[in-house]
Structure 1
Amino acid sequence: MTKAGVVIHFPNPTRIHDASRHCVCFWGYDKAREIAFQVDDGVLARLSPNKDSDESSLLAAFDRNRERILEIARTVYTGGPQNRYTIS
């Protein structure tokens, strides 16, 4: 749950697949601070079952579930000094 008054925005639609970390990375902003998020490939597979696990399929799964993933990101974001969050 976020702290009172802590708001994260996601104006940048950019996302990338990081094969070495097995995740899709995306970024949010708390005022001027950039916060990195990564959602594990396994989460994307659960959100879009019966899909391939190649990069384009995982990015498509992220895009189809973007709003749900951003809501999860808003929930895990707590503010403070941490600048990277993992959704797994």
Structure 2
Amino acid sequence: MTLAFPNPTRAYDETRGLIRFIGHDGLNQVLFLLPVAVFDREGATSRRMEREYLLAFDRLRDRILTAARQAYQSRRRHTIELDLSAFGSSLQTAV
């Protein structure tokens, strides 16, 4: 099976500073955690609001899901935390 994202739902976890989203590999559910720091420009100290982070996720959804698929292929875990290295430095400048 290949990893699919049939449900576009994503959620912001302010306490942990990340966005959660779920993929499916057949019957297996895979939780992805994306720290919102990947959306902040280097050195930025202002805190964005939940809505801004979710909009940034939506704008970059295709790139994020591609990175999630690649990370899953290499790790095959039930929970995967993505970081900026999964995208290269280009993600920060795209937001």
Contact 1:26 1:37 in 2 (8 A): yes
1:20 deviates by: 1.1
Determine the structure 1 residue equivalent to 2:2: 7
Contact 1:38 1:86 in 2 (8 A): yes
Picking from 5, 29, 36, the partner of 1:34 is 29
Contiguous gaps of at least 5 residues in structure 1: 1-5
Deviations, residues 9-38 of structure 1 (Å, cap 9, x unaligned): 001000000011110000000001110001
- The residue identity in structure 2 corresponding to 1:85 is I
Determine the structure 2 residue equivalent to 1:87: 82
SS at match of 2:66: helix
In 1, the alpha carbon distance for the partners of 2:70 and 2:15 equals 26
SS at match of 1:21: coil
When you count helix as a share of all residues, which structure comes out higher?
2
Determine the structure 2 residue equivalent to 1:3: none
Give RMSD over aligned pairs: 2.0
In 2, the alpha carbon distance for the partners of 1:44 and 1:12 equals 22
Q: Percent same amino acid among aligned pairs?
A: 34
Determine the structure 2 residue equivalent to 1:23: 18
TM-score when scaled to structure 2? 0.75
Contiguous gaps of at least 5 residues in structure 2: 84-95
1:45 deviates by: 2.5
Q: Which has the higher contact order (CA 8 A, sep 6+)?
A: 1
Contact 1:45 1:58 in 2 (8 A): no
In 1, the alpha carbon distance for the partners of 2:70 and 2:51 equals 27
Task: After superposing the two structures, state which structure 1 stretch, 51-60 or 6-15, moved more.
Answer: 51-60
